[in-house]
Amino acid sequence: MAIPLGNRVLRIVAIVIALLVIAALGTLYALQREAKAYVERALAPVGTAASVKVAFNLSSVELTDVRLKPPPDWPTADTLHAARVTITPDLRALLSHRVHIRDVTVNDFTMTVLRRESGLILILPNLRESMAQDARTASGAQGESGTPQEKAIDHIFFKNGAFEFYDRSVSNPPWRVTVNRARASVDNVHLPALMEPTRVSVVGDVVGREHTGRVTFDGWVRIANKDSETHTTLRGVDVKSIEPWLLKKAGAKANVSGGTLDLDLTSTVRGYRLHAPGTVTLHNLQLAESHDAVDTFLSIPTRAAVAALKAHKGEITLHFVLEGNLRDPKFKLNENLMTALRAGFAQALGVSAEGVAKGAGQTAKGIADALRNLFVQPAAQASK
């Protein structure tokens, strides 16, 4: 019996649809394998992952136990270790041969940040160098291979992790400060130009010996030319955890036995010129008594500082402004911050900034005058 024409058409249509589905699945499988191979190749120069899984519909890429390699003389075994990294690509961009990542989520991480003796801060240096090398390679090969040079990442999220900050500019071995329970976000990253403002936000707990404080950082940075507007706050940070930044690096120094610190700093950089007004408030600051004349706290003789702090009941607020040209080799951020804090501390105690600049002898004389005003003047007024 002959098969009716309508049934034959339906069979042909069904076969065509089945072939199209098989072809689509085959294409997806091939793209999945290609995407996995691409991720593994991109990761190989800078780190490792225990596994790389690409969703069959290409909607996400998941990496587990990710470790990024450090450069020589790095204080830790990895610059970044994350239990899981999930990447969500833009499928339409993939079909158009563009690199557009909707978001990257980094879970359960530890990231190390290093400040060198020169003051240079390094964040994921090997990854940054690899990205720069890829940009140079893509630029040279774009005309031949059609490899896309432009890459965009909308959002990067860091969740449930820790930042470990090592500072070689204040001590060797480097002074370490840990920020736990940290989360961060980086938005609007356009490679390789990096001329668009990139939004950055960080929050976490600053772990101290006796107190755990809180840090927040928010603002934008134009990475290509270093322009930026940022705001930093510290609340209830253990003074002992940041002791090297408050004390002289050379010679005898005061022994900080307790206290916490609050900070508000608004920083603007335009054309490599920095303008950053700030306020530091010290709460219940306690310094160990010292009979050594060269023992100082913020360049103030410790004995005088202890007496003045008692008069202020351990509470003191310092106002300062950091200004300078970041391209000037003579401009040292640490030293400028210390000078500003010393001047603010002296001013809060009634000593002129000029007195601080003239050295310990003049500072001691100025402190003595300030203490005389603190203790003698109220008594004189009481006798009237």
pLDDT at position 372? 41
pLDDT at position 80? 94
* Cβ contact 308:370 at 8 Å: yes
Mean pLDDT by 10 residues, the chain (384 residues): 54 53 49 70 86 81 92 93 92 70 94 88 82 61 52 92 92 91 92 84 92 94 90 93 66 67 93 90 76 62 67 77 82 71 69 44 42 40 40
**Measured between alpha carbons, how far is residue 330 from residues 129, 322, 327 in Å?**
27, 14, 9
* Interatomic CA distance for residues 151 and 100, integer angstroms: 6
| SS3 of 323-353 | EEECCCCCCCHHHHHHHHHHHHHHHHCCCCH
Q: Tell me the CB-side half-sphere exposure of residue 30, using CA atoms within 13 A.
A: 6
* Interatomic CA distance for residues 363 and 297, integer angstroms: 12
Neighbours of 68 (CB within 10 A): 21
pLDDT at position 340? 74
pLDDT at position 373? 44
pLDDT at position 299? 62
pLDDT at position 2? 56
* Interatomic CA distance for residues 116 and 169, integer angstroms: 6
pLDDT at position 163? 95
pLDDT at position 246? 67
Neighbours of 100 (CB within 10 A): 17
The β-bridge relationship of strands 80-89 and 300-301 is unpaired
Q: Positive or negative CA dihedral for 213, 218, 222, 226? A: negative
The β-bridge relationship of strands 80-89 and 61-68 is antiparallel
pLDDT at position 366? 43
Report helix angle 360-383 to 302-311, nearest 10. 30
pLDDT at position 185? 95
Place of tokens 């790095």: 74
* Interatomic CA distance for residues 217 and 240, integer angstroms: 21
Q: Tell me the CB-side half-sphere exposure of residue 40, using CA atoms within 13 A.
A: 11
